[in-house]
Amino acid sequence: MILAVNIGKLTKLVEAFYKLTKIKVAVYDDNFVKIFSYPEEDSSFCEMIHRLPVAAANCDESVRNICAKCREVKRLVTLTCHAGLTETVAPLYENDLVIGYIMFGQITNVRSKKSFIERAEAACCKYELDRDEFSQKVLSVPFKSNEQLLSVSEIINAFTAYIYLQDIVSIKKEDTLSLLLDYIDGNLASDLSVQTLCKKFFISKTSLYHLTKKIMPDGVANYVRTRRIEKAGELLSKTKHSVDEIATMVGFADTDYFRRIFKSEMGMPANAYRKAHRS
Euclidean distance between CA atoms 111 and 149, whole angstroms: 12
Domain that holds residue 186: 173-277
Chosen domain end from 171, 206, 224? 171
Furthest-apart CA atoms within the chain: distance in Å: 83
- Residue 144's pLDDT is 94
The tens digit of pLDDT for each residue in 50-69 reads 999 999 999 999 999 999 99
CATH code for position 209: 1.10.10.60
**Is there a contact between 176 and 31 (Cβ–Cβ < 8 Å)?**
no
- At 179, the pLDDT band (50, 70, 90 cuts) reads confident
**177-216 burial by CB neighbour count: b if 16+ within 10 A, else e?**
beebeeebeeebeeebebeebbeebbbbeebbebbbeeeb
- Residue 1's pLDDT is 64
| Contacting residues for 256 by C-beta, under 8 A, at least 6 apart | none
Chosen domain end from 142, 171, 200? 171
Q: Is residue 230 over pLDDT 70?
A: yes
Q: What's the start-to-end Cα distance of the chain, in Å?
A: 40
Euclidean distance between CA atoms 247 and 245, whole angstroms: 5
Do residues 86 and 105 share a domain?
A: yes
Element (H, E) at 271: helix 270-277
Euclidean distance between CA atoms 61 and 50, whole angstroms: 13
| Count: domains in the chain | 2
H helices present in 22-127, as ranges: 44-50, 53-73, 113-124
The tens digit of pLDDT for each residue in 239-272 reads 999 999 999 999 999 999 999 999 999 999 999 9
Beta pairing partners, 143: 108
SS3 121: helix
Q: Is residue 96 over pLDDT 80?
A: no
